Amino acid sequence: MARAMFEYTKMILEKVSFDPTLFCKELQKAVRRLLPFEIKELEIWVKQLVLQNPELGSCVPLLKA
């Protein structure tokens, strides 16, 4: 079940990646919901997404909180 939440989170983040504010808000929710090892995986995934969408870079520090 936890893995399903991780995949769902990635899907949502992809869908809102057009808006940095919304992306940051959803990323904060993800950090509250996911397990620590999933957050580490998500950090790697987000960094790859930021390479394609540099405007999302301001949200990356939220993964450390």
Task: Give pLDDT tens digits for 29-58.
Answer: 999 999 999 999 999 999 999 999 999 999
Residues sharing a CB contact under 8 Å with residue 39, sequence separation 6 or more, in sequence order: 30, 31, 63
Q: Please say whether the beta carbons of 63 and 46 come within 8 A.
A: yes
* pTM score, whole prediction: 0.89
Query: Residues 23, 31: contact at Cβ < 8 Å?
Result: no
